[in-house]
Chains A and B, each alone.
Chain A
Amino acid sequence: GAGVSQSPRYKVAKRGQDVALRCDPISGHVSLFWYQQALGQGPEFLTYFQNEAQLDKSGLPSDRFFAERPEGSVSTLKIQRTQQEDSAVYLCASSVIAGGPLGSGELFFGEGSRLTVL
């Protein structure tokens, strides 16, 4: 597609429910990132994929958070047994390559999925 697409845009969950958030990156983009943005804050890194490989998941706040990208394109962020502190906007971003010394690594973001846990 033309841009990074995320769904659902809005999700309300009762505490304890499981949720799944989907990201469809720009076609051909190798790298995919998930970020969490609390109200009034900058985004915080959660996890990073290069193709189907999850190369960095150090930002996931607990073992209730799980992300996958099985075919190297669409990714799903799953949150089990949601808590109120999980309420945030979850942003997905993609780039052609990761960057580093050989590439620009410019990131393109989707519009986010706003999760509210009651």
Chain B
Amino acid sequence: KQEVTQIPAALSVPEGENLVLNCSFTDSAIYNLQWFRQDPGKGLTSLLLIQSSQREQTSGRLNASLDKSSGRSTLYIAASQPGDSATYLCAVREETSGSRLTFGEGTQLTVNP
């Protein structure tokens, strides 16, 4: 059974710092990996989607990398801002489980002004 782990569970940083969120998964047979952001009481907003054949994706201050063989992904946030405060979730779509996503428990990020 696929298991997705996110470290750290919570992170508090001062504004302006560059930071890295980690995601690991136990079964490397995946189609893709997706990073989401969730604000309190809200749904999930898709940030970046990395196909299994890709190594990284970038959007603005966000960069996500994927090392499929080792079962790891990182989300890099440059020059963090208070508006980046949210919970960040990673999820994988497996080759053998059809279309379902398996999520990690998230990293709760607080960026202090």
**How many pairs, one residue from A and one from B, have CB atoms within 8 Å of each other in the complex?**
75
Q: Are B46 and A107 in contact (CB under 8 A)?
A: yes
Instruction: Knowing A91-B43, A107-B34, A110-B43 are in contact, say whether A40-B105 is a contact too (CB < 8 A).
Output: yes
Contact between chains at B42 and A111 (CB < 8 Å) = yes
| Interface core residue of A41, A100, A106, A107 (most chain B CB under 10 Å) | A107
> CB of B102 within 8 A of chain A?
yes
Please report the C-alpha to C-alpha distance between residue A41 and residue B5 in the assembled complex, in whole angstroms: 11
**Number of B residues contacting the other chain (C-beta, 8 Å)?**
25
Give the distance in Å from the alpha carbon of A105 to the alpha carbon of B51 in the complex: 10
Query: Does B98 belong to the interface (CB within 8 Å)?
Result: yes
Chain A residues within 8 Å of B76, by CB: none
B103 touches A43 (CB 8 A): yes
- Distance to closest chain B CB from A3 (angstroms): 9
Collect the chain A residues with CB atoms within 8 Å of residue B49's CB: 104-106
Q: Mark B82-113, 1 if CB is under 8 A from A, else 0.
A: 00000001010100001111111110000000
B4 within 8 A of A: yes
- Number of residues on chain A facing chain B (CB within 8 A): 32
Chain A residues with Cβ below 8 Å from B43 are: 4, 6, 91, 109-112
The residues of A that contact B89 with a CB separation of less than 8 Å are 42-43
Residues of B within 8 A of A (CB): 4, 31-32, 34, 36, 41-46, 49, 51, 89, 91, 93, 98-106
